[in-house]
Amino acid sequence: MRDLMTDRIEQWKARGFDPNNCPVRMVLDHVAAKWTSLILLELEKEPQRFNALGRALPDISKRMLTQSLRDLERDGMVRRKVYDTKPPSVEYSLTDVGLSFMAPFSQLLDWAEKNQSQILAARSGYDKS
């Protein structure tokens, strides 16, 4: 793996790597953002409507829910379907791309859960000294 990763970096640099305009970061930004990955997790359970999502993520504001959903929709990871009823109802669901993201993402979550105690230990050790 070492060599593969090394090659990867060399390739990026060869193409004129710019961390502010990086195709990988454009993906990582979803992981980074405060709510997007949680929204994806919720939508993986089942397609849900706007306010249902809001209730599932109790601390999110409508503002951030809207914005996060727009970001995900823009990148083709979430599909927005409007039913022309009254009052309107809007259902959000994962696209195939969004669903395929869950595989590597859940690997990362696994790693996080497995290593969190060690990390917390290292952290408090560091903070004491």
Partner DNA sequence: CAGGATCCTACATGATACTG
Partner DNA sequence: CAGTATCATGTAGGATCCTG
Chain positions contacting a second copy, by CB under 8 A: 1-2, 4-6, 8-9, 18-20, 23-24, 26-28, 31-35, 37-38, 41-42, 44-45, 57, 59, 73-77, 97, 100-113, 115-116, 118-123, 125-127
| DSSP code at position 110 | H
- Asked if 94 touches DNA (CB under 7 A), the answer is no
Residue from the set 33, 41, 56, 102 that interacts with DNA by CB under 7 A: 33
Using the minimum distance from each CB to DNA, give the nearer residue, 20 or 103: 20
CA distance 25 to 75: 13
Using the minimum distance from each CB to a second copy, give the nearer residue, 63 or 86: 63
Shortest gap between Cβ of 54 and DNA (angstroms)? 8
Closest CA to 98 of 71, 123, 122: 71
Rg of the chain over Cα atoms, rounded to whole angstroms, equals 19
Phi, psi of 69 (to 5 degrees): -65, -40
- Please identify, among the stretches 9-17, 59-67, 101-109, 114-122, the one whose residues bind DNA according to the rule CB under 7 A: 59-67
| DSSP code at position 16 | -
Q: What single-letter amino acid sits at 68?
A: S
